[in-house]
Structure 1
Amino acid sequence: MKIIYPLALLLLTGLYAIGQQATVKGIVKNEKGDTLTAASVFIKGKKIGTYTSATGEYELVNLAPGSYTIQVSLIGYEPAAQKINLAAGESQTIDFILKETLYELQQVEITGRRESGYKNTSSFIGTKTATPLKDVPQAVSYVTKELMQDQAAARVGDVVKNFSGVNQFSANNDITMRGFRVYAGNGTMLVNGLRANASFWKQPPANYLERVEVIKGPVSALFGNASPGGTINRVTKKPLDQPRKSISFITGSYNTFRALADFTGPMNESKTLLYRLNVAYENSQSFRDLQFEKNIVVAPSISFLPNDKTRLNFDLVYNKSNSRIDRGQSAFENDLYSTPVSLSLNAVNDHLNEEQYNITTSLTHNFTSNTSFNIAYIRTSYSEDLFEHRSNNTYAKDVNGKPVNFLVERQVFDRRSKEFNDNISAYFTHNMYTGPLEHKIVAGYDYAQSKLPVGSAQLTASGYLRKDGTAGGYNGDSSKYVTYRYTTKIDGRDTTLYLVKPNVPTYDLTKNEHNMEDASKYVYTPTANEATTPRLNFLHGAYVQDQIQFGRLQLLLGLRYEWFIDKVNYTRSNEKRVTQTALLPRLGLVYAINKNINAYALYAQGYNPQAASSQADTAKGGPFDPLQSKIIEAGLKSEWFNKRLSVTTSVYQIEQTNALYDFPTAAHPLGLAQIGKEISKGFELEVVGQITDNWNVVLNYAYNEAELTDAGSLDKDLIGRQKPNAPRNMGNFWTKYTFKNKALRGLGIGVGGNYVTERYVSLNRTQTLPGYELLNAALYYRIDKFQIQFNMNNIMDKTYWVGGYDFLRLFPGAPRNWLATVAYTF
């Protein structure tokens, strides 16, 4: 009994104290009456704060009686403050109206995005200024970090299904966008709006990303040479002015383990120095034989904001990766289901060791309320240590030169290479009026350089063994080659075949065995290719852009002049220099039909230089003119449910000319000719955001016709055929609902699906990949600062392929798999 009275007294004291605590709540709006999401609301001098919800509301609870100063801030608006006095148990409602600042925001984001949820309001990728996406006269898609977390997406390739008109070309860092291939090597991968190199073999990790953006169609007028399908931009997480810390641990199928951490906040009391640190560790296997991933990612970021006019940011992303290259599944000729999707052609002693870093520094300074200067620089380094057994893209041959369709001919690559990229982007913005016209003028200069220095090299082992100890291709004459007998079972019966001995052991699809191969016995030859031939290419681009507004009408006029220089075999006696120039216009129109709906139209031109290997090889007849493209696009962009939900529809036609096709002549037996024309046209729909503050949704659909329309006198049978790995129809949905009632508070559920129709695997073959429909789901449960998450993908355990080159190089999707996440926020 003696202990009961002190406990009762303590309990009553606690209840009394809770009853004395006060509350402040309210709504934050702008001068137009629109509610503002993710505005920072905090008490001056205290570590107490919050952010406004999707409806602009905030609430500060458990405040002791006393006097406080409530401060509100949001990028793009002037901060506001109000002093209050709180009595014991009192609840006050304090609303704020923020005034828009006239200072121009920077091209590269300096401080972090405070919005939470699936919707993003503004982007720099569409105009190189902080423009609301509804006012950008071009289709822009995005996936926020919140959606990536809800889907447990580990890599950029995991999120492309959420974009309309975008799907994987292969399992590598290689996608199809509106029917055109986009990959790390064709100048269309950006980091924070700057050109950056990336691994072709592995998709970049997603843990350090704020969002992934895609701007559809040619964007050469903004960023220089690029694919006509579009450009991917990875926006890294930036520091916040309020402390946030989180750690999470993920485990699941295929012995997956990931550990992630994200820390951010101010480094001084004045909040002029902010930091963010993201780290990640991954160790996982795969449903694919011998495939694995070991990754370490360290991504610090520091922002310095000495005053309202000057902002400086520094970002580093370092990624060290150990894995194997996945060259895909091989199957019997014309029999897609003849081998398991797990089958790979690797040997146990294969490896791919990669190391990459991106260093970004950016500065913005406002000279006046109407004039600002922005400059950003990125340095990218990529190194590769590769040893792999892979298919030689054909079946092995018997002594008569006849293919044996269950033996795959293999080759070996042993390569070391390094590549360095630099990009500087500098521009001025100026706001002015000419009569009733409001102008936002951008004038700037870009310099980008890519260098593959001396010291990269590759040895290749392939072909068949000759009696003289060399190796080479086989044409059916066995007298000069080593032959042997091979016994196996065909249709259950022992069968003896007479084969030519390969330089690298062939892979028997009927046995599905992996060995430690003795690579010292192979006959190697040095190989020159784009990954090993020293080269230096750089571009200069000067551009001007004017965004003109007159009432409901906005006009975007842009013009860029670019000159591109490519030096292949530079520093060598056979150095070859190719110089190309381009004048690239861009014209956009936006009309506000009402406060919710904008209509837009776009005309733009683009270009992309031909591959360095085609330019440098005299046997092919180069140099060749660059690929040229143009787009006509129109659509509607709208916002609903108090701007929580955005809906975009678009129709487009993209035309590309100067594509290269085989054209042998007496002077150039391996010659190429620029006779191709390709047209891609289609329709897209995207719905992103919140229907209510606890119901998030992503929905997209795309119809695309991407066809070769002109090949001169060659390959007439290919006219009108859909381009490889470009489905005519595709769609995706994902929705998350969080329960608010008391009994289920903290519980959430997510459901999603993917739909892709049949695709060709190459332009000149009849092999196709079947369409597929996938179903995914997730459960979430939050307990105070803890969240437990469970994701199940491919619930119906469908067999499907995301892409491929032919039936010797297929890229299957994962069978049914699961991931469990435990996260703690503090």
Structure 2
Amino acid sequence: MTRFIQIKLPTVLFKNINAKLFLSKLPNALFIVYFLALVLNVDTALAQKSASGTVKGTIRTSDGVAAEYVNVLIKETNQVAITNKNGNFTLRNVKPGNYTMLASFVGLNTQSQQVTVTEDNITVADFTLTENKQRLNEIHINGRKSNKFLRKETDDIAKLPLKNLENPQVYSVVTNELMKEQVVTNYVDAFKNIPGAGVPLIYNNGRTSLLSRGFTTENLVRNGISGFDYNSVDPANIEKVEAIKGPSGTLFNSSMVSFGGVFNRVTKKPLDTAKTEIGYQSGGFDLNRITADVNTPLNKDKTALFRINTALHSEHSFQDEGFTRSIFVAPSFTYQVNDRLSVQLDAEISTYNATSAYRLAPYAKGKVFNIKDLAIDYNRSFAGNSVDYTSKQFDVFGQVNYKISDHWKSQTAFARTYSNTKGMVTQLTIVSDTGIRQSLQKQDFPYYGTNIQQNFIGDFKLGSIRNRLVVGLEYYNQKSNRDFTTVNMPVLNYTKPGAAYDNFNADKVSALAASSPYTYTQTNLSSYAVYASDVINFTDQLSAMLSLRADRFDNKGSYTPSTNTRTGNYKQTALAPKFGLVYQVVENQVSLFGNYMNGFSNVSGTDFNNNTFKPQYANQWETGVKFDLWDHKISSTVSYYDISVTNTTRQDPDHPAFNIQDGTQLSKGVEAEVIANPFTGFNIIAGYAYNNSKYTKADASVQGLRPAAAGPDKLANLWVSYRIPEGKVQGLGFGVGGNYGSASYQTNTTTFKFVIPSYTVIDATAFYDQPSYRIGVKLDNLTNEKYWSFRLAPQNPTRCTLSLNLKF
């Protein structure tokens, strides 16, 4: 008899968004998922019958309580089961023989038992774990086995070991497990699961940025320290992505963050168990990707550990021309010198060869005001494969942890980064109702970064009041050398380009560049900071966070050796305070929180009276509620925020050639996130973000209007998946979800508006996950939706990707 799986999806309605449109496209996705289920279905009636037996059992803790989510393995056959809420498991179709059974749970001692299986009989194998129920619950909290996509506990966000319910800040975490389920081959695809992130911006050298609370936010922070690298980020070395919301200048360098928040990528670390995983992904647009994750202890006592992650990636654009080819290697090493001292050292090395990301500027005097109405071919790149560039990356990171006492530890971290873009990067500009100009910069553009942090972290009591305190010092330096020339091609008719379409090639461009003047400039920025943050527990349920950071900036500006001139140089000092309050209404389940946070951004230049500008400040007030209910089966955060930006510059109405610094901007809104596991194997991730941004005091051309770069004011994300937890097809699973964004602007002024339409994109996946292998298939953009980024870059149409992972 053929077995079918029925999945009922809950209807989720989001206020103020086109939810009807979003949900109307789900049936198409469900049909494809249903079809995949038929393709992957196991027809048990046609299976050849062979001699076999069954192993059943119950696993309990030492105090007699049923143990859920425990892994049970037959060592010789690699057959595996997971206990249900009653602690029961069943392993069918086991060939007769003598076997070793292993019962294991993350953080617990593995239990073993010898069993004998006979034909057509049931063998009983019960286990008793040495830990009690309380200990098991603690590990559930850390391992999140009851909700596999919930991993909120982190030391990076507050630079202190705080639980989510204790932290007055809002953040989202995308786990490696979720990225595997969604067959993520591009780093920014992970951000589909973060409320309010929007469509990613891809820049010429592969670096990326997304939205956070209406502000463009780049990917420049790695493991809590600068990962500044103007290059692409490969997902092969990513353990999780942390999206920290709101102005975060108190604990993070302001050069790395935006007023909307900071994206922190956490990399994979060496483990004390040998393992290897080899992956291959193949898909539309000639995608070919090979990954390897090799981990091994280097000595018997497992104090020296080594891990290396690598990726070889190649794909073409869905457009007529365009490609990406990269090689990525990330070795990491950990050495536990003694009980007090440990050292971590890792690196990321890559070579990235590609054509420029698509970038289009509209015609401000034209008759078209919406990208969907522009008569430009969605599938044309208006560039050539020979007009390309190469980016290189060589970054080294280190961390030294030393336990000073039972209450204090020292953490020293450093980062040394190098990235370079050499070659030709392009841009497209519409200059008339039918004309487009292709522009190019031929450049050699290296960046150098140095970041050193020294943190002292304490957990102690003053009287009966617990304090968790971090005090830190930070030095940061960023340098660049840029050598470039600009080439402008003749205007091309973008509706009927003809033979001239092929003229944008390396030979013709290089000939024009040879007669164009080059410009060489150097930049050098340094900052010195001291910061402190203290979490004070007045009671087990009431706590406060008090934080302050002081920064001294020394920007030497842009230096041009040929003219011996320097512009944009300044020195500034800025303070960033932070205050948070948390009250756990129901301890470890429901908390109310509020925060005041400050971020700043340095502003170069002077006004008409030659007064140096002050740093630009963003002050956020936020309040909300966090839930962690039913043994972590539902985790949710709902918040309201209000961000006020001051000291923005605007054109001086009395002296149009100068700026004055009295502008203001407001960004406020609501964010909600739910991560749920209502029953075993079924997972839901949903998010909604509403953002209301506007200039409250600015140039007349934008006064009272939403900044174009703020993106859609309404964004929603949903992912629903089910994995069969036991039985003959245990490990078979399916997922479906999508993203919605309301209409937004590429340009929004009183004289010209250019609209980017709303979009709804649906994705689906099917997979079969076993201890020794994993097979997956992913369909992106099932409905073949046409949608664009803020830079008017057309996004990928429907694509199918197949994935195979072998585990050793």
TM range (shorter): 0.7 to 0.9
Q: Determine the structure 2 residue equivalent to 1:767.
A: 754
Counterpart check, 1:460 vs 2:492: no
Q: Which residue type is aligned with residue 659 of structure 1?
A: T
Question: Do the aligned partners of residues 685 and 222 (structure 1) sit closer, same or farther apart at CA in structure 2, a change above 3 Å counting?
Answer: same
Q: Determine the structure 1 residue equivalent to 2:217.
A: 182
Of 341, 348, 352 in structure 2, the residue corresponding to residue 310 of structure 1 is 341
Counterpart check, 1:727 vs 2:712: yes
Q: Determine the structure 2 residue equivalent to 1:640.
A: 629
Q: Determine the structure 1 residue equivalent to 2:545.
A: 556
| Pairwise CA RMSD | 3.8
Q: Determine the structure 2 residue equivalent to 1:443.
A: 471
Q: Determine the structure 1 residue equivalent to 2:734.
A: 749
**Distance across 2 between alignment mates of 1:352 and 1:28:** 62
How many Å apart are 1:559 and its aligned residue?
1.1
Please tell me whether the aligned partners of residues 461 and 523 of structure 1 are also in contact (alpha carbons under 8 angstroms). Answer: no
Question: Residue by residue, what CA displacement relative to the aligned partner does 1:795-824 show, whole Å, maximum 9, x if unpaired?
Answer: 1111111323xxxxx112211111111221
How many Å apart are 1:218 and its aligned residue?
0.7
Q: Determine the structure 2 residue equivalent to 1:589.
A: 581
Counterpart check, 1:343 vs 2:380: yes
Question: Do the aligned partners of residues 330 and 691 (structure 1) sit closer, same or farther apart at CA in structure 2, a change above 3 Å counting?
Answer: same
Please tell me whether the aligned partners of residues 254 and 286 of structure 1 are also in contact (alpha carbons under 8 angstroms). Answer: yes
Question: Residue by residue, what CA displacement relative to the aligned partner does 1:550-593 show, whole Å, maximum 9, x if unpaired?
Answer: 22101111111111111124595434641111121111111111
How many Å apart are 1:55 and its aligned residue?
7.5
TM-score w.r.t. length of structure 1: 0.79
**Distance across 2 between alignment mates of 1:539 and 1:287:** 43
How many Å apart are 1:505 and its aligned residue?
2.2
Q: Which residue type is aligned with residue 531 of structure 2?
A: Y
Q: Determine the structure 2 residue equivalent to 1:518.
A: 508
How many Å apart are 1:27 and its aligned residue?
5.1
How many Å apart are 1:604 and its aligned residue?
1.2
Write out aligned runs for 1:85-484 (5 A): 91-97=125-131, 117-168=148-199, 170-172=201-203, 173-183=208-218, 189-199=220-230, 203-225=232-254, 226-329=257-360, 333=366, 334=368, 336=371, 337=373, 338-391=375-428, 393-395=429-431, 404-453=432-481, 456-462=482-488
**Distance across 2 between alignment mates of 1:551 and 1:167:** 38
* 3-state SS of 1:168 partner: coil
Please tell me whether the aligned partners of residues 345 and 507 of structure 1 are also in contact (alpha carbons under 8 angstroms). Answer: no
Question: Do the aligned partners of residues 348 and 741 (structure 1) sit closer, same or farther apart at CA in structure 2, a change above 3 Å counting?
Answer: closer
Question: Do the aligned partners of residues 620 and 327 (structure 1) sit closer, same or farther apart at CA in structure 2, a change above 3 Å counting?
Answer: farther
Question: Do the aligned partners of residues 42 and 735 (structure 1) sit closer, same or farther apart at CA in structure 2, a change above 3 Å counting?
Answer: closer
Write out aligned runs for 1:640-719 (5 A): 640-663=629-652, 670-711=657-698, 714-715=699-700, 718-719=703-704
How many Å apart are 1:691 and its aligned residue?
2.6
Please tell me whether the aligned partners of residues 648 and 687 of structure 1 are also in contact (alpha carbons under 8 angstroms). Answer: yes
How many Å apart are 1:94 and its aligned residue?
2.4
Please tell me whether the aligned partners of residues 718 and 763 of structure 1 are also in contact (alpha carbons under 8 angstroms). Answer: no
Q: Determine the structure 1 residue equivalent to 2:8.
A: none
Question: Residue by residue, what CA displacement relative to the aligned partner does 1:633-663 show, whole Å, maximum 9, x if unpaired?
Answer: 1111111231143111111011112223334
Question: Do the aligned partners of residues 307 and 59 (structure 1) sit closer, same or farther apart at CA in structure 2, a change above 3 Å counting?
Answer: farther
Question: Residue by residue, what CA displacement relative to the aligned partner does 1:388-424 show, whole Å, maximum 9, x if unpaired?
Answer: 3433x351xxxxxxxx421213332111011111111
**Distance across 2 between alignment mates of 1:175 and 1:42:** 42
Q: Determine the structure 1 residue equivalent to 2:600.
A: 607
Please tell me whether the aligned partners of residues 625 and 658 of structure 1 are also in contact (alpha carbons under 8 angstroms). Answer: yes
How many Å apart are 1:674 and its aligned residue?
2.0
Question: Residue by residue, what CA displacement relative to the aligned partner does 1:90-126 show, whole Å, maximum 9, x if unpaired?
Answer: 734223448999xxxxxxxxx9999983111311232
Please tell me whether the aligned partners of residues 160 and 469 of structure 2 are also in contact (alpha carbons under 8 angstroms). Answer: no
- Give aligned-pair identity as a percent: 24
Question: Do the aligned partners of residues 677 and 382 (structure 1) sit closer, same or farther apart at CA in structure 2, a change above 3 Å counting?
Answer: same
How many Å apart are 1:262 and its aligned residue?
1.2
**Distance across 2 between alignment mates of 1:340 and 1:825:** 44
Question: Residue by residue, what CA displacement relative to the aligned partner does 1:159-186 show, whole Å, maximum 9, x if unpaired?
Answer: 22211122236333122211112236xx
**Distance across 1 between alignment mates of 2:626 and 2:200:** 28
Q: Which residue type is aligned with residue 749 of structure 1?
A: F
Please tell me whether the aligned partners of residues 117 and 689 of structure 1 are also in contact (alpha carbons under 8 angstroms). Answer: no
Q: Which residue type is aligned with residue 789 of structure 1?
A: G
Q: Determine the structure 1 residue equivalent to 2:38.
A: none
Question: Residue by residue, what CA displacement relative to the aligned partner does 1:226-245 show, whole Å, maximum 9, x if unpaired?
Answer: 31100011111111222322
Question: Residue by residue, what CA displacement relative to the aligned partner does 1:424-457 show, whole Å, maximum 9, x if unpaired?
Answer: 111111222122211111111111111114xx31
Q: Which residue type is aligned with residue 703 of structure 1?
A: Y
**Distance across 2 between alignment mates of 1:394 and 1:588:** 48
Please tell me whether the aligned partners of residues 266 and 274 of structure 1 are also in contact (alpha carbons under 8 angstroms). Answer: yes
Question: Do the aligned partners of residues 431 and 174 (structure 1) sit closer, same or farther apart at CA in structure 2, a change above 3 Å counting?
Answer: closer
Counterpart check, 1:546 vs 2:534: yes
* 3-state SS of 2:614 partner: coil
* 3-state SS of 1:518 partner: helix
TM-score w.r.t. length of structure 2: 0.81
**Distance across 2 between alignment mates of 1:119 and 1:375:** 29
Write out aligned runs for 1:74-85 (5 A): 74=107
**Distance across 1 between alignment mates of 2:780 and 2:385:** 29
Please tell me whether the aligned partners of residues 164 and 685 of structure 1 are also in contact (alpha carbons under 8 angstroms). Answer: yes
Question: Do the aligned partners of residues 710 and 96 (structure 1) sit closer, same or farther apart at CA in structure 2, a change above 3 Å counting?
Answer: farther
How many Å apart are 1:26 and its aligned residue?
4.5
User: Any gaps of 5 or more consecutive residues in structure 1?
Assistant: 1-13, 75-79, 102-110, 396-403, 463-503, 805-809
How many Å apart are 1:311 and its aligned residue?
2.2
Of 511, 536, 541 in structure 1, the residue corresponding to residue 524 of structure 2 is 536
Q: Determine the structure 1 residue equivalent to 2:139.
A: none
Q: Which residue type is aligned with residue 458 of structure 1?
A: F
How many Å apart are 1:24 and its aligned residue?
9.2
Please tell me whether the aligned partners of residues 650 and 659 of structure 2 are also in contact (alpha carbons under 8 angstroms). Answer: yes
**Distance across 2 between alignment mates of 1:53 and 1:320:** 45
User: Any gaps of 5 or more consecutive residues in structure 2?
Assistant: 1-49, 117-122, 136-141
* 3-state SS of 1:149 partner: helix
**Distance across 2 between alignment mates of 1:527 and 1:239:** 46
Please tell me whether the aligned partners of residues 324 and 350 of structure 1 are also in contact (alpha carbons under 8 angstroms). Answer: yes
How many Å apart are 1:273 and its aligned residue?
1.7
Q: Determine the structure 2 residue equivalent to 1:509.
A: 494
Question: Residue by residue, what CA displacement relative to the aligned partner does 1:742-778 show, whole Å, maximum 9, x if unpaired?
Answer: 3543321110111100101123231111101111111
Question: Do the aligned partners of residues 317 and 433 (structure 1) sit closer, same or farther apart at CA in structure 2, a change above 3 Å counting?
Answer: same
Question: Do the aligned partners of residues 514 and 328 (structure 1) sit closer, same or farther apart at CA in structure 2, a change above 3 Å counting?
Answer: farther
Q: Which residue type is aligned with residue 352 of structure 1?
A: Y
Please tell me whether the aligned partners of residues 607 and 629 of structure 1 are also in contact (alpha carbons under 8 angstroms). Answer: yes
How many Å apart are 1:256 and its aligned residue?
0.9
Question: Do the aligned partners of residues 148 and 274 (structure 1) sit closer, same or farther apart at CA in structure 2, a change above 3 Å counting?
Answer: same
